[in-house]
Chains A and B, each alone.
Chain A
Amino acid sequence: MSNRRIPNWADVVLVPLFSVVLAFIISAIVIWAIGEDPWEATKMMVQGAFGSSYGWGYTLYYATNFIFTGLAVAVAFQARLFNIGGEGQATLGGLGVALVCLHLPWPHWSLALVAASFGAALFGAAWAAIPGYLQVRRGSHIVITTIMFNFIAAALLNWLLVSVMRPSGSMDPASARFPPEVRLPRLHEILDVFGIPFSRATPANISLLVAILACVLVWYMLWRTRLGYQIRAFGQSEPAAQYAGISPFRITMYVMLISGALAGMMAINNVMGEANRLLLNAVEGAGFIGIAVALMGRNHPFGVFLAAVLFGFLYQGGAELALWTNIPRELIVVIQALVILFTGALDNLVRIPIAALFARRRRS
C-alpha cells in the first residue's frame, strides 16, 4: 500500500498551500497566453482585494458568506454526508430573515439580529432536514436530493417574490425594504468605535463576527460535545458507530439540521446586512463555493475560515481585475475553478509527492 502518512501539520497547511500555488501558476500561464501580464494581474488582484479598506470590506463580505456555507458542508462531511444543497438552504434562510424583519416590530437591530439568525437557521435547517430524512428512511441519496432541493428552493422563492411578497405596484421581484431599525451595523461603524478608519462603501457588516463565532462554536461542538463525538464516530466508521449504539437516523438528522441551519444563516449577511430586502438569486452561488471552501479547509472550522477568506479574495480581486483590465470576467471563474480543481479533485497530485518527501526524510 502506498505510504500516505504525513504529519498532521503538513496535511493541514502544506498540502492546501501547494495546491493553491500550483493553481495560481497555471492561472498565470493562462493569463500570459491570452496576452496579458500575469504579474500585473496578480498585483491588481491583491491590490484590489487587500490594498484598501474598500477592498478588504468586500473581501470580508464575501468571506462571511463562504464561512457559513463552508461550515455547513464541513459539518455534514464530518458525518460523511455530502450536503451540496447549501444554495437552497441559504435561499430559504433568506426567506426566514425576511419574514422576521418584515412582519415583527423590532426596537433595536441587536434583537432583530438574534431573531433573524434564528429564523434563517430554522428555515435552512428545515430545508436540509427533508433530504436527510429521505436518505435514512427512504434510501434516496442525499447528493441527489439536496441538489434537487436547490432548484425547488429557487422556484419557491421566485413564486413567493413575484406573487406573494412583492409590494403592490412594484415592478421588481423583490420583497419590501426592511424597516431601518433592523439595519445591521456595517464594519466601518464598528471600527469607528475603536477609532479605526474604514471605507463606508462596503457591505461588510457585523455578520462577519457572527460567522467567526460560528466557526468557534462548530469547532467546540465537534470536538468537545457528546453530539460532536457521535457525529465524528459515525462519519469515521459506520460499523463501529453501530457497535457503540449510535443511531444513524438521529445523527443524520442532527447533522443535516445543523448543516442546513449554518447555510441558512448566510442570509443575515447578504439579505439583512447588505441588500436590506429579499432579492431573487441573492445567494449567487455561495452555496456551491462552500463545497470548495470546506474541501480546501479540510472540513475543519478554522480551515474553513482561512479558505473562505481566500475565496473572498478571489471574488473581490477577480472583480477588480475584470473592471480594470482586458482580462474577461470569465477568466476569473477559470482561476476559481483551478483553485477548486487543485485543492479538491487533484488533492493527491500534491499529497503523494509530499508524502514521498516525508518518507524519504524519515528513512535518512
Chain B
Amino acid sequence: MSDAAHTLERPAGAVPPAIELRGISKAFGPVQANKDIHIRVEKGTIHGIIGENGAGKSTLMSILYGFYKADSGEILINGQPTEIPDSQAAIRAGIGMVFQHFKLVQNFTVLENVILGAEAGWLLKPSVSRARGLLKQLATDFGLNVDPDALIEKLSVGHQQRVEILKALYREADILILDEPTGVLTPAEADHLFRILRGLKEQGKTIVLITHKLREIMEVTDNVSVMRRGEMVDTVRTSETSPPHLAELMVGRKVLLRVEKHPAKPGPVVLDVKGLRVVDDMGVERLRGIDLQVRAGEILGIAGVAGNGQSELLEALAGLTPGEGAATLSGQPLDVTGKSSDGYTRRMSGVSHVPEDRQRRGLIMNFHAWENVALGYHHDPAYNRGAFWMDNPAILRMTEDYMKAFDVRPPNPALTAESFSGGNQQKLVLAREIERGPELLLVGQPTRGVDIGAIEFIHQRLIELRDAGKAVLLVSVELDEILSLSDRIAVMFDGRIMGERLPEQTDEAELGLLMAGVTEKGAA
C-alpha cells in the first residue's frame, strides 16, 4: 500500500496532500468500522473511495467531517495536523460535504439554503446579495446553474444536489466530499455532475468521491482507494486498474472454505420467477425484470456487489417489499405484489426467510431468545393454548431443542437476543427458519458478522437442507461462499441478472467481470 502511494497521480512539485489520514481506527462497540486507515488524497485530484455497503467508507468520511471522533490516528489537512472535533472545524479546515441524503430546508429558496448557518451578521440582506453574486460567478465557472430564487421543493433531485455543492463552495471549501452522489440521480444528471466535478478539479479543488459503483470510479477519478470490512485494501491509479480488478479488491479473495458436499440431485422446479420488478420509494427501479428458477434439492447462489438489487429480490420474494411480475411456488401462484401476502402467509405456504439484516428484521433484540423463536410462528397451534393464550412453556422447550440442535451458546432461552454473539444470533434465526422443513429457504448474507466456527456450521446446515430435497436461494456478497455452496450461480448487476454459471466451470475472475456489469471477456 505504501509503495502504491508513490505511483499516484499528483501534480508536479512537492505539494503536500490535501488530506492525509494516518492510522485512523474507529470501533462501535465490538464492530471495528475502521481499522488503521492510511490514505493520501493529492491536491487537485478526484479521489475515489470504493467499497461495498458497510465497508466503512461513510464512517471514515464522518470522522473527517467531525461527526465521529476517531479512536486513534491523525488527520493532516494540507500537511498540517488538524483536530476536527465537529463539522464547524471541518468547514474551517476547508472541507465541504455533500451527503447522500440532502440536508436542505424544503420550503426555503436556494439562496436561503446556501447562506443558512453562514449568515454574516444580524441582517440577511448583505449575505443574500453576496451569495447572489457568488452563485452567479459559480454558475458561469462550473456550469452549476440553479435559479437562486427557486424553492428547494420545486427542484429536481439533481438540482438539489447542486445546491448542496454550492453550499460547500459558499463556505469556501477546497476539499469536497461527495457521499454516494449518484445514488439518486438519473444517468444524464450523473454525467452533468461529473462535468461539474471535473470543472472544480481544474480550478484546483480536491474532490473525494465515495461510491460503490465501479463505472463512476473509472469515469471521473484520478486515483482510487478500495475499502473492505473497515480496512483500506489498496490505493491505485485509476488509469492502471480495471473494473474486474477493483471488484476483486472490493469483494476480497480469501482462502476458499471448501464445503463437503455431494453433487446435487435437482428435482422439480420449486420457485419460478418471471419478470420481477421492484421500484423503491424514490422511484428508482431496483429490479429490472428478474427471471429465475430454483429446483428442489439445489442451492441457487446470487452473487453481486452489494446494492445491485439482491436485497430487493429477497424482500420481494419474502413478501416484504411490493413488486411486479409473476412467480409460482411448486406450481401454485406466489404473490409478489404484497397485496395478498405478508411475512406470515409466506411462511404458511412453505417459504422461510433468513433476512440479511438479522438485527433489524430477523430478531427483536430486546426480546428473550424464546420469544424470538416464536417470531413469525406465533400463530402456530403448537405455541398456543386456545384462541388467545400463548403456550410459553412449549415455546421455551422448543427453544431449548433448537439451541441444542444448533449449538447456540450460551444455551439459555431466557437471555435477550442482543446478549448473543452475531454467530449465535444467526444460528437462532436459522434454527427457527430451517427446522420446520420449508419447501424454499430464502437466505441473505448467512455468515455476515459471524465467526469462522459458526460459518462452517451454518454452511453445513444449508447443504443438509439441500440434500433433504429443499430449494435454497442464497444471496451473498462473499464470493467464496457463493462458489463453495451453490449448485448454480446467478450474477446480479444493476437490478438484472447478468448471467448464470456453474461453480465448477467458472472462477472469481469471470464472476468479477459479470459483477462489474461486463458480459463479454476483455471488454472492460
Taking a contact as CB atoms under 8 Å apart, the answer to whether A244 and B320 are in contact is no
Task: List residues 294-320 of chain A with CB under 8 A from any CB of chain B.
Answer: none
Question: CA of A239 to CA of B376 in the docked complex: distance in angstroms?
Answer: 12
B371 near A229 with CB under 8 A, answer yes
Binds A, one of B163-171, B215-223, B341-349: B341-349
Q: Is A207 part of the binding interface, using a Cβ–Cβ cutoff of 8 Å?
A: no
Q: Would you list which residues of chain B between 344 and 390 have a CB under 8 Å from chain A?
A: 344-347, 353, 355, 357, 360-367, 371, 374-376, 378-379, 384, 388-390
Instruction: Check B392 for interface membership: any CB of A closer than 8 A.
Output: yes
Q: Tell me which residues across on chain B come within 8 A of A363, comparing CB atoms.
A: none
**Given that A237-B360, A243-B362, A245-B343 are contacting pairs, would A229 and B390 also be in contact in the complex, using a CB cutoff of 8 Å?**
yes
Q: Are A233 and B389 in contact (CB under 8 A)?
A: no
The segment from A53-61, A180-188, A197-205, A220-228 found at the interface with B is: A220-228
Task: Given the known inter-chain contacts A236-B366, A237-B364, please indicate yes or no for A244 contacting B388, CB distance below 8 A.
Answer: no
B376 contacts which chain A residues (CB < 8 A)? 243-245
Are B388 and A245 closer than 8 Å at their CB atoms?
no
Contact B360 A242 (CB under 8 A): no
The closest CB in chain A to the CB of B374 belongs to A229
Partner of A226, one of B365, B375, B389: B389
Q: Is B122 an interface residue (CB 8 A)?
A: no
A226-B363 contact, Cβ under 8 Å, with A243-B320, A244-B378, A247-B342: no
Interface 0/1 of A217-259, CB less than 8 Å to B? 0000000111101101100110110111111000000000000
In the complex, are the beta carbons of A224 and B390 less than 8 A apart? yes
Minimum CB–CB distance from A103 to chain B (whole Å) comes to 32
Task: Count chain A CB atoms within 10 A of each CB in B343, B353, B379, B392 and give the residue with the most.
Answer: B343
A225, A230, A239, A242: the one within 8 Å of B389 (CB): A225
Is A233's CB under 8 angstroms from B388's CB? no
User: In whole angstroms, how far apart are the Cα atoms of A239 and B347 in the complex?
Assistant: 16
Q: Is the CB–CB distance between A233 and B375 below 8 Å?
A: yes
Chain B residue with the shortest CB-CB distance to A230: B378
Q: State whether A225 and B388 are in contact (beta carbons under 8 Å apart), knowing that A236-B367, A240-B362, A243-B376 are contacts in the complex.
A: yes
Query: Main secondary structure on chain A at its contact with chain B?
Result: helix
> Which residues of chain A come closer than 8 Å to B347, judged between CB atoms?
245
Number of interface residues of B (CB under 8 A): 32
A1 at the binding interface (Cβ < 8 Å): yes
| Other-chain residue from A1, A225, A245 in contact with B344 (beta carbon distance below 8 A) | A245
| Assembly CA distance A236 to B371 (angstroms) | 12
Contacts of B392 in A (CB 8 A): 224
| Residues in chain A near residue B318, CB distance under 8 A | 243
State the CA gap A313–B79 with chains docked (Å).
66
Q: Would B342 and A245 count as touching, CB distance under 8 A?
A: yes
Please name all residues of chain A whose beta carbon is closer than 8 Å to the beta carbon of B389 when the two chains form the complex: 224-226
- What CA separation (Å) do A227 and B392 show in the bound complex? 13
Among A1, A226, A236, A239, the residue within 8 A (CB) of B378 is A226
Interface centre among B29, B378, B379 (most CB of A within 10 A): B378
Instruction: Please encode chain B, from 195 to 221, with 1 for each CB lying within 8 Å of some chain A CB and 0 for all others.
Output: 000000000000000000000000000
CB <8 Å contact, B345 and A233:
no
Bound Cα distance A244, B363 (Å):
10
Q: A1–B33 Cα gap in the complex (Å)?
A: 13
B375-A240 in contact (CB<8A):
yes
A243-279 Cβ-contact flags toward B at 8 Å (1 or 0): 1111100000000000000000000000000000000
Q: Nearest CB to that of B389 among chain A residues?
A: A225
Distance between Cα atoms of A233 and B390 in the complex (Å)? 14
- Of the candidates A1, A225, A232, A236, which one forms a contact with B29 in the assembled complex, judged by CB atoms under 8 Å apart? A1
Query: Assuming the A-B contacts A229-B374, A233-B364, A236-B367, are A244 and B390 also in contact, with contact meaning beta carbons closer than 8 angstroms in the complex?
Result: no
> In the bound complex, how far is the Cα of B384 from the Cα of A227, in angstroms?
11
Residue in chain A with minimal CB distance to B387: A226
B388 touches A226 (CB 8 A): yes
A229-B371, A230-B378, A236-B364 known; A242+B320 contact, CB < 8 A: yes
Q: Which residue of A lies closest to B418 (CB)?
A: A5
Q: How far is the CB of B351 from chain A (nearest CB, A)?
A: 11
Does B384 contact A239, Cβ atoms closer than 8 Å?
no
Q: List, in ascending order, chain B residues with CB within 8 A of A232's CB.
A: 367
Are A227 and B388 also in contact (CB < 8 A) when A244-B375, A245-B344 are? Answer: yes
Closest chain A CB from B476 CB (angstroms): 19
Closest residue of chain B to A225, judged by CB?
B388
Q: Tell me which residues across on chain B come within 8 A of A226, comparing CB atoms.
A: 378-379, 384, 388-390
In the complex, the chain B residue whose C-beta lies closest to that of A220 is B389
Q: Which residues of A, 1-30, contact B by the 8 Å Cβ criterion?
A: 1
Give chain A residues whose Cβ lies under 8 Å from the Cβ of B360. 237, 239-240
Q: Return chain A residues, CB-CB under 8 Å to B361.
A: 237, 239-240, 242-243
Closest to A221 in B: B388
Q: Which B residues are CB-close (under 8 A) to A229?
A: 371, 374, 378, 390
Expressed in whole angstroms, the minimum distance between the Cβ of A222 and any Cβ of chain B is 11
Among B28, B347, B357, B367, chain A packs the most CB atoms within 10 A around the CB of B367
The docked-state distance in angstroms from the alpha carbon of A186 to that of B357 is 56
Chain B: minimal CB distance from A248 (Å): 10
Instruction: State whether A244 and B371 are in contact (beta carbons under 8 Å apart), knowing that A224-B392, A237-B360 are contacts in the complex.
Output: no
In the complex, what's the smallest C-beta–C-beta distance from B276 to chain A, in angstroms? 19
CA A233 to CA B366, docked complex, whole Å: 9
Which residue on chain B has the smallest CB distance to residue A237? B364
Partner of B365, one of A227, A230, A237, A245: A237
**CB-nearest residue of chain B to A226:** B390
Closest A-chain residue to B363, C-beta based?
A240
Query: Complex Cα distance A3/B256, Å?
Result: 38
Residues A243 and B378 in contact, CB atoms below 8 Å apart: no
Q: Which of B342, B364, B390 contacts A240 (CB 8 A)?
A: B364
Which A residues are in CB contact (< 8 Å) with B363? Answer: 240
A233 and B367 contact, CB distance less than 8 A: yes
Which B residues lie within 8 Å of A225 (CB)?
388-390
Chain A residues in the interface with B (C-beta under 8 A): 1, 224-227, 229-230, 232-233, 236-237, 239-240, 242-247
Given contacts A239-B357, A244-B343, A244-B378, 9 further A-B contacts (CB under 8 A): A1-B29, A226-B378, A233-B378, A236-B366, A240-B364, A243-B355, A245-B343, A245-B346, A245-B376
Residue numbers of B with Cβ under 8 A of A are 28-29, 318, 320, 342-347, 353, 355, 357, 360-367, 371, 374-376, 378-379, 384, 388-390, 392
5 CB < 8 A contacts A-B? A225-B390, A226-B389, A236-B367, A246-B343, A246-B344
- 9 pairs of A and B residues whose beta carbons are closest in the complex: A245-B344, A245-B343, A244-B376, A245-B342, A243-B361, A236-B364, A225-B388, A244-B375, A243-B343
